[in-house]
Amino acid sequence: MNKAEIQAIINDCPFHRFLDMEVVSADPELGEVVLRLPFRPEFSRSSEMAQIHGGITASFIDIAGDYAVAARIGRGVATINMRIDYLRMAEHTALTACATAVKIGRSIGVVDIEVRDDGDRLIAVGRASYSTAA
């Protein structure tokens, strides 16, 4: 799948539309996808602070990983497992996720995902596995 195809799928999903993600780049050969998530007040973990809730970051990591596999195999996949390390708080900033396929096999795809803020500071890292079985 290319950048335009992935963006079309994102635009078709109500939750993805709510997040308002943009596909920055997609490389089907490498299984690499870069997504951008603009900051919205609804993403805040409290009404007094503009710190992005960890659940938003987790969803962003999962979605980026999914599309890295989808870019390679040409269709959406189901998440099997996901691990996230939160490294610092993201506050009032857009986020960028770079998801890179580590291995795409016949039944499982494994992806590493990095999330950075607008200052290029590493916010979180994730590793997720997805079902690639048809």
CA 19 to chain CA centroid, nearest Å: 11
Residue 134 has pLDDT above 90, yes or no: no
Calpha distance 65→72 (Å, rounded): 11
Domain, as residue range, for 29: 3-131
CA angle 98, 100, 104 (to 5 degrees): 155
Per the structure, the count of domains in the chain is: 1
CATH assignment of the domain containing 101? 3.10.129.10
Per-residue pLDDT band at 108 (split at 50, 70, 90): very high
With bands split at pLDDT 50, 70 and 90, how would you rate the model's confidence at 7?
very high
Task: Name which of 39-43, 95-99, 118-122 the model is least confident about.
Answer: 39-43
Q: For the beta carbon of residue 35, count every other beta carbon within 10 angstroms.
A: 28
Amino acid 48: pLDDT: 82
